[in-house]
Structure 1
């Protein structure tokens, strides 16, 4: 199974409601989609959402990186030559992690097809289904409380609340939601780098003192402030998760060596693909640190790849893979399915993607 050609396109999918965080507000999910076509006729699919405020990757930078730098180095290689393929992807250029993840994803899709195994079984096969949380966008307390109740009524038992930027308002948001959904619903907070270290400690202690029962708090301080993150981790009881700070393998190694966080959020678009995400999971497992499998705002294609890794590894104990459930329509035929708050991995070889509807080709 030899790589013959790589085609690049995109899909644009409206959301059910605006997605709002401390960093951005969007109404559509936009994915770059690639097809790696082999001499056997097999097609491997990969995707990458342009998330410039987090990864630094724009739509056109992803397309250009794949078309002009990464793809030419892979044509003619056998899919089973994984050491050479991933070495070339990693060393093709600095940064550009989303473009690298996109190509990596399609390679793994083809590896699954070559081995006649669903990707989650090829990677470890730990579980075929698991629960995910649902993200509640950053809004006024009463609106977020309404959205939280709606999510619970839809079958979700784990909620991830977007907070950050205004500590007093954040406290009001969390209190309103806890009062609205009751004590049995699991609540996680994602500050998206929105607090200062001392401010974060004061606020988190306030959550603890008021018995708001927060499971974990994700990336409370700016990504590059490892000492600030460690300060928060050391001075609160609530588990602290690194997200934007835990970008790739080296950053995760530094975080865990410094004991700067309690948990790691793995995202394929930060790691540069599944092959590096596997390394992160192994580093965390060696250190006895559990992981969450996270995602960007992306289509079901990317979520299927992330879910495959989450299903494969026991160290990944939590999932924040709700993005496909936030979309108004689904152009991806095949892949994962949702049963309320549960993600079901399919048993088809690779990612199990059958067709991409509304595909728009890039002609560069």
Structure 2
């Protein structure tokens, strides 16, 4: 099964409601789709969102990295020589993690097809079904409380609340949400780098003193401020998760060695795909650090890949893969089955994706 061609296209999927964080507001998923065609007729799909404020990767950068660097080095390679392909992919261009992730996902899709197994079984096969949280965008306390209550009525028992926009207002937001949903619902918060270290400690202690029962706080400070992250971790009782601070296995190792965070969030668009994400999982197992699997605003191709990784590994104990349920439509045929908080994998080979509708191709499409 040799790589014959790598095709690139774009999809646009409207969101049900605007997605608001401390970093951005988004109204639709605008992703790059990768389709790898082999000489045996097998096809592997990958996907990457342009998330410039987090990864630095724009649509043009993703397309350029694949066309100018990745594609020409992978054409002709055999899927059986998977380690060689992964080494080539990771060394062909510096950074550009989203482009690498899209190709990595498509390659893993083909790897599963080559050995006639669902990808999660090849990666570990720990479980077949997982449960995700759902994200509540940052708005006024009243609107967030209403959105949280709607999510609970839909069956979600874990809410991920976006904060990081005005710390005093964040406390009011959390009080309103907790009052609305009660204490049988797990609440985790994501500051998206929105606080300074001392501000984070003050805000989180206020939340502790108010008895808000926060499961954990995600990325309270700037991504580069590892010392600040550790300062927060050392000075609050609420567990701290590193997200934007962790792109590479090297980043994860540093944070684990420093005990700068209690938890680590793995996202394929940061790691460059499954290959490096597996390395972070192995480190986490050694250091006893639980992981969450997360996603950017992505459609179902790349999120299905994340589901397979989450299903494969027991060290991934927290799931934040609500991207597809935030979309108003699903252009993907096959893949993971999303039923609100429950996500189930089929026994189809690879990722189990049959087709992606509505792709606007930007290079020669066979």
Relative to the length of structure 1, the TM-score reads 0.99
User: 2: CA distance between counterparts of 1:62 and 1:336?
Assistant: 24
Q: What's 1:167 paired with?
A: 167
How far apart are residue 339 of structure 1 and its match? Answer: 2.3
Q: Deviations over 1:83-108 (max 9, x none)?
A: 11011111101110000001000000
Aligned length: 364
Query: SS at 1:54's partner residue?
Result: coil
Flag as ranges the 4+ runs of structure 1 deviating above 6 A.
none
User: 2: CA distance between counterparts of 1:121 and 1:35?
Assistant: 22
Query: SS at 2:189's partner residue?
Result: strand
User: 2: CA distance between counterparts of 1:312 and 1:230?
Assistant: 30
User: 2: CA distance between counterparts of 1:338 and 1:12?
Assistant: 19
Q: Is the 8 A contact 2:325 2:340 kept in 1?
A: no
Q: What's 2:90 paired with?
A: 90
Query: SS at 2:19's partner residue?
Result: strand
User: 1: CA distance between counterparts of 2:74 and 2:305?
Assistant: 20
Q: What's 1:8 paired with?
A: 8
User: 2: CA distance between counterparts of 1:363 and 1:355?
Assistant: 18
Query: SS at 2:117's partner residue?
Result: coil
Q: Deviations over 1:134-186 (max 9, x none)?
A: 00001010001111011000110000000003111000101100000000000
How far apart are residue 203 of structure 1 and its match? Answer: 0.8
User: 1: CA distance between counterparts of 2:342 and 2:145?
Assistant: 22
User: 2: CA distance between counterparts of 1:130 and 1:3?
Assistant: 32
Q: Deviations over 1:48-70 (max 9, x none)?
A: 00000000000011001001110
Q: What's 2:80 paired with?
A: 80
Unaligned 5+ segments in structure 2 are none
Query: SS at 1:147's partner residue?
Result: helix
**Counterparts of 1:143-154 in structure 2 under 5 Å?**
143-154=143-154
Query: SS at 1:55's partner residue?
Result: coil
Asked if residue 248 in structure 1 is aligned to residue 248 in structure 2, the reply is yes
Q: Is the 8 A contact 2:10 2:30 kept in 1?
A: yes
Asked if residue 138 in structure 1 is aligned to residue 175 in structure 2, the reply is no
User: 2: CA distance between counterparts of 1:138 and 1:80?
Assistant: 46
Q: What's 1:300 paired with?
A: 300
User: 2: CA distance between counterparts of 1:339 and 1:54?
Assistant: 28
How far apart are residue 340 of structure 1 and its match? Answer: 2.7
Q: What's 1:106 paired with?
A: 106
How far apart are residue 346 of structure 1 and its match? Answer: 1.7
User: 2: CA distance between counterparts of 1:30 and 1:349?
Assistant: 27
User: 2: CA distance between counterparts of 1:61 and 1:139?
Assistant: 31
How far apart are residue 338 of structure 1 and its match? Answer: 1.7
How far apart are residue 303 of structure 1 and its match? Answer: 0.6
User: 2: CA distance between counterparts of 1:177 and 1:49?
Assistant: 30
User: 2: CA distance between counterparts of 1:105 and 1:171?
Assistant: 39
User: 2: CA distance between counterparts of 1:243 and 1:36?
Assistant: 30
Query: SS at 1:52's partner residue?
Result: coil
Query: SS at 2:40's partner residue?
Result: coil
User: 2: CA distance between counterparts of 1:230 and 1:23?
Assistant: 22
Q: What's 1:312 paired with?
A: 312
User: 2: CA distance between counterparts of 1:161 and 1:246?
Assistant: 20
User: 2: CA distance between counterparts of 1:190 and 1:346?
Assistant: 31
Q: What's 1:323 paired with?
A: 323
Relative to the length of structure 2, the TM-score reads 0.99
Q: Is the 8 A contact 2:7 2:363 kept in 1?
A: no
How far apart are residue 363 of structure 1 and its match? Answer: 3.1
User: 2: CA distance between counterparts of 1:165 and 1:24?
Assistant: 11
**Counterparts of 1:224-239 in structure 2 under 5 Å?**
224-239=224-239
Query: SS at 2:89's partner residue?
Result: helix
Query: SS at 1:246's partner residue?
Result: coil
Q: Once superposed, what is the RMSD of the aligned Cα atoms?
A: 0.7
How far apart are residue 190 of structure 1 and its match? Answer: 0.2
Q: What's 1:271 paired with?
A: 271
How far apart are residue 12 of structure 1 and its match? Answer: 0.4
User: 1: CA distance between counterparts of 2:35 and 2:103?
Assistant: 9
Query: SS at 2:212's partner residue?
Result: coil
